[in-house]
Amino acid sequence: MISIKDLSKVFKTKDQDVRAVDKLNLSIDKGEIFGVIGYSGAGKSTFIRLLNRLEEPTSGNIQMNDQNLTGLSKNKLRIARQEIGMIFQHFNLLWSRTVFDNIAFPLEIAGIAKSKRVERVNELIELVGLSGRGNSYPSQLSGGQKQRVGIARALANNPKVLLCDEATSALDPETTDSILDLLVNINEKLGLTIVLITHEMHVIRKICHRVAVMESGRIVEAGDVLDVFLHPKEKVTKRFVDQVMGDPDREDSLHLINQNYKAGEVIQLHFVGENTNQALISELSREFTIDVNILHGKITQTQKGAYGTMLVQLVGDQDEVDRSIAYIKTTSVEVEVSPDV
Ligand SMILES: Nc1ncnc2c1ncn2[C@@H]1O[C@H](COP(=O)(O)OP(=O)(O)OP(=O)(O)O)[C@@H](O)[C@H]1O
């Protein structure tokens, strides 16, 4: 769907050449939500702006929707861009136009007849959850509502790809979640490919299928979100994963558990992937004559399933406790008896 080969962008400034994107290679599949994460200065904004040639590449190739985007003339690029929607951190709305007219704008440019425009805008207003707000001006809307207008406008011409440039960075956590839910919803409903850049691992965890980590203009690590979360290789990736995976209270909890829970066995369960869930706990107490005492845990959901760890105490006859541990070992949940800090 999107194939990027040796893409580079060098900004020539008075003092020096800045290699913002440096021989970047990446493939993005049709219909996936692909996240690129990196710290400030990694080159994310430049990268996403290269994808619709808001920024002209210095060298390299972008193949998108069966077209060589990098080779298109200005005229052909204008047409190709109708298949690429984009939303921005600061929304980039037209402040003197109503919600309705903002969304209608790209349709006007595309030369769509008025009656068709009205129909399409009303459809989009409903899709993004802004029914009844068509006559409002951007200044009368909350940040989340403004981004909904941005999304509706980006979808107006039925693009195949939606580029999101830090689309939730200006929003509070709750509003961020509602916008992310909307993006998942339109990805599923419309089969739209979404490419987003962010510096927040929460965004990646919540909605992305695959992720690439960017540093100094290059992709240093990429893969399925769950794989990258579970086996981060690069230092920068580990720091991002800690943003959402870190369980700083675990060590304290384990000390207290070792002091206070002497009966039976304390075990650590490690949940990974889509086939595992907390139903194991109810299964254990149903199938074995033991009590299962949940002591500490952190389970996190991603688009590719749940992962996390849980400390539990199993209390009962030693035989029965042993049998239940042997059973857990036959499941996909990893188990560790008497875990260390
Ligand atoms: N127009 C420009 N002229 C010169 N240098 C630029 C220009 N745009 C970006 N840069 C430089 O390119 C590098 C990458 O910037 P970019 O904005 O793409 O990174 P980023 O990961 O998006 O960071 P941020 O989230 O802070 O914007 C930086 O060193 C930046 O200073």
Percent above pLDDT 90 for the chain:
75
Residue pair 8/50 in contact by the 8 Å Cβ criterion = no
Q: What residue owns the CA closest to ligand 1's atom 3?
A: 11
User: What distance in angstroms lies between residue 219's CA and the mean position of ligand 1's atoms?
Assistant: 15
Number of domains in the chain: 2
Q: What residue owns the CA closest to ligand 1's atom 14?
A: 43
List of the chain residues with pLDDT < 50:
none
Which CATH number belongs to the domain containing residue 166 in this structure? 3.40.50.300
Give yes or no: residues 280 and 214 share one domain: no
For 24-76, what is each residue's pLDDT tens digit? 999 999 999 999 999 999 999 999 999 999 999 999 999 998 899 999 999 99
**Per-residue pLDDT at 278:** 56
Q: Is 42 in the pocket of ligand 1 (CB under 6 A)?
A: yes
Count other C-beta atoms under 10 Å from residue 198's C-beta: 24
Give yes or no: residues 190 and 329 share one domain: no
CA-214 nearest atom, ligand 1? 21
Give yes or no: residues 104 and 203 share one domain: yes
Q: What residue owns the CA closest to ligand 1's atom 13?
A: 20
Has the ipTM of the complex gone over 0.90?
yes
Give yes or no: residues 79 and 107 share one domain: yes
What is the rounded radius of gyration, in angstroms, for the C-alpha atoms of the chain?
A: 24
Count other C-beta atoms under 10 Å from residue 246's C-beta: 11
From edge to edge, which strands make up the β-sheet containing 59-64? 17-28, 2-12, 59-64, 67-68
Give yes or no: residues 116 and 6 share one domain: yes
Q: CA angle, corner 124, sides to 120 and 127, nearest 5?
A: 140
Q: Which structural domain range is residue 55 located in?
A: 2-244
Give yes or no: residues 197 and 321 share one domain: no
Give yes or no: residues 239 and 254 share one domain: no
**Per-residue pLDDT at 61:** 95
Q: What residue owns the CA closest to ligand 1's atom 28?
A: 41
Residue with tokens 């400390």: 311
Residue pair 83/1 in contact by the 8 Å Cβ criterion = no
Give yes or no: residues 259 and 236 share one domain: no
Give yes or no: residues 215 and 282 share one domain: no
For 128-164, what is each residue's pLDDT tens digit? 999 999 999 999 999 999 999 999 999 999 999 999 9
Give yes or no: residues 221 and 105 share one domain: yes
Give the Cα separation of 281 and 15 in Å (integer).
Answer: 62
Which CATH number belongs to the domain containing residue 315 in this structure? 3.30.70.260
Question: Of 223, 244, 265, which residue constitutes the final position of a domain?
Answer: 244
CA-42 nearest atom, ligand 1? 21
Q: Which of 46, 166, 199 to mutate to test the pocket of ligand 1 (most atoms within 8 A of CB)?
A: 46
Q: Which of 21, 22, 45 to mutate to test the pocket of ligand 1 (most atoms within 8 A of CB)?
A: 45
Give the Cα separation of 269 and 299 in Å (integer).
Answer: 10
Give yes or no: residues 101 and 215 share one domain: yes
Give the Cα separation of 306 and 130 in Å (integer).
Answer: 32
**Per-residue pLDDT at 229:** 85
Q: Is 11 in the pocket of ligand 1 (CB under 6 A)?
A: yes
From edge to edge, which strands make up the β-sheet containing 218-224? 84-88, 161-165, 193-198, 33-37, 210-215, 218-224
Question: Of 210, 244, 278, which residue constitutes the final position of a domain?
Answer: 244
Q: Is 213 in the pocket of ligand 1 (CB under 6 A)?
A: no
Give yes or no: residues 223 and 98 share one domain: yes
Give the Cα separation of 114 and 329 in Å (integer).
Answer: 64
Question: Of 195, 225, 244, which residue constitutes the final position of a domain?
Answer: 244
Euclidean distance between the first and final Cα of the chain, in Å?
A: 45
